Chain A
Amino acid sequence: MIERSHHDMGGLPAGKVEPTEHDYPDWERRVDAMVQLLRGGGRITVDELRKNIEALPPEAYDQLSYYEKWISSLTQTLIQRGVITTEELGRKMQEVEKRKR
């Protein structure tokens, strides 16, 4: 079994903390807004979102930015809740991909 989950890193050696200023791009603001609205509407709990962040593979957990983790987790949560299906999501992603070309 897994002794210690990857995210549960309290007390382990870590690098220096470098505080940086960061302006939020629009997509990050949208992710935040969606999370607030879905939580406020009682459709999802913060605990589910945390579970799905903690379930990321260790490499993804270390590499994804804060809001990349949130959107990944929010997507997983909405699929688990049946709010969206993987098929709908896949089709929409293809549609958005096409817009770029």
Chain B
Amino acid sequence: MKPQFATEYPAVSPQFSVGQKVRVRKTAPLGHIRTPFYIRGHVGEIERLCGAFPNPEELAQMRDGLPAQPLYRVRFRQKDVWPDYRGPDSDVVEIEIYQHWLGKA
């Protein structure tokens, strides 16, 4: 039986490193998009590189999604994301975002 998640693909090289500040692209193309609307345009920090995976936007259109896109866990301060956030300053939200949705901040 082949593994559910293959681990070896031709992949795009990672451009960002842990701790680096990144801004999520603010755009709204059509199709299957895994970057939540509410986080687009916000600045966060790379928490880790999760690996590289076939691009789900392409898989959703019946193509192979290759080369695989690096996927990062990005950490955002809740206070930056929600203007009326009432919790502690230290609260964060972590979202897994593909590299092609990120730019240098």
Contact = CB atoms under 8 A, between A and B. Distances in A.
Contacts of B88: none
B82 A45 contact: no
Contacts of B59: 45, 47-48
Contacts of B56: 47
Interface in B83-97: none
Contacts of A3: 28, 37
B36 to A, nearest CB: 5
Consensus secondary structure, chain B interface: loop
Contacts of B38: 10-11
Contact of B60 (A1, A2, A47, A81): A47
Interface residues of B, number: 15
A10 B95 CA distance: 12
A2 B60 CA distance: 19
B81 to A, nearest CB: 8
Contact of A50 (B32, B37, B62, B82): B32
Contacts of A10: 36-38
Given A2-B28, A51-B32, A54-B32, 6 more contacts: A1-B30, A8-B37, A45-B59, A47-B57, A47-B60, A48-B60
